[in-house]
Amino acid sequence: MDGIAGIAARMAQIQALVAPPQAAPLTTSTSTFASALADEVAKTTGSTGNVASAAGAARAGASGAPARLNADGVPVELARYGNGRIPESALQKVGGTGERLWAPAAQKLEQLMGAAAKDGVHIGITDSYRSYAAQVDVAQRKGLYSQGGLAAQPGTSEHGWGMAADLKLDAAGQRWMRAHGAEYGFVKDTPRESWHWAFRP
Ligand SMILES: [Zn+2]
């Protein structure tokens, strides 16, 4: 921890040096700061890791992809594909299941399921990423929210962005999710669907 505390202290010093209040635009000071930080990290840890990996790790925790949303609340790296039109290769499998989600959501859900299992609680997945065509099918079978049903308008579902999973939960599983889901970024945002959990990074 001394190393990390040392880096934090040096970061503050470097920031003061390279980004005084009257200094250049943020982009300039940020990149200057980034390279100074990289040097400092390499000195302190003896590693040759670059600042991109250091910054990525800081953003996402010890492991995992960075979770960034655009102004529409959509994963930055998936936005170009469109809701329900994301190729499998751009999504990540949730552990050993065949289910796929946006990478940060998949990683957190895998961690969540592991933690629940340690508590003796089994959490299964019944649905995850959903294609546009699959959402059309669900809407036909379950009806739209706007008409009292249980499906989002195709093209608007959180499933279409790989940001929600439908979970198979018994009573213990429901209790566990309500107690711990948010620790992994999963929240219940759909009142009538106890199974639907959305990822909010
Ligand atoms: Zn759902």
Q: Report how far ligand 1's centroid is from the alpha carbon of 101 (Å).
A: 12
Contacts of 190 (CB under 8 A, 6+ apart): 196, 198
Question: CA distances (Å), 178 to each of 15, 95, 181, in order?
Answer: 40, 22, 6
Looking at residue 175, which CATH number applies to its domain? 3.30.1380.10
Q: Report how far ligand 1's centroid is from the alpha carbon of 163 (Å).
A: 10
Q: Which residues surround the ion ligand 1 when the cut-off is CB under 5 Å?
A: 166, 196
Average pLDDT for 104-126: 98
- Say if residue 113's pLDDT is above 70: yes
Q: Report how far ligand 1's centroid is from the alpha carbon of 164 (Å).
A: 6
- Say if residue 54's pLDDT is above 60: no
Asked whether residue 13 is assigned to any structural domain, the reply reads no
pLDDT band for 66, please (50, 70, 90 cuts): confident
Asked whether residue 60 is assigned to any structural domain, the reply reads no
Asked whether residue 110 is assigned to any structural domain, the reply reads yes
Question: CA distances (Å), 117 to each of 69, 111, 172, 173, in order?
Answer: 30, 10, 11, 10
- Say if residue 38's pLDDT is above 90: no
- Give the structural domain span for 146: 91-199
H helices, E strands: number in the chain? 6, 6
Asked whether residue 185 is assigned to any structural domain, the reply reads yes
Q: Report how far ligand 1's centroid is from the alpha carbon of 48 (Å).
A: 44
Question: Which of 14-28, 146-160, 183-197 is predicted least confidently?
Answer: 14-28
pTM given for the model:
0.69
Please state the domain count of the chain. 1
Q: Report how far ligand 1's centroid is from the alpha carbon of 197 (Å).
A: 7
Cross-strand partners of 187:
198
pLDDT in tens, 140-169: 999 999 999 999 999 999 999 999 999 999
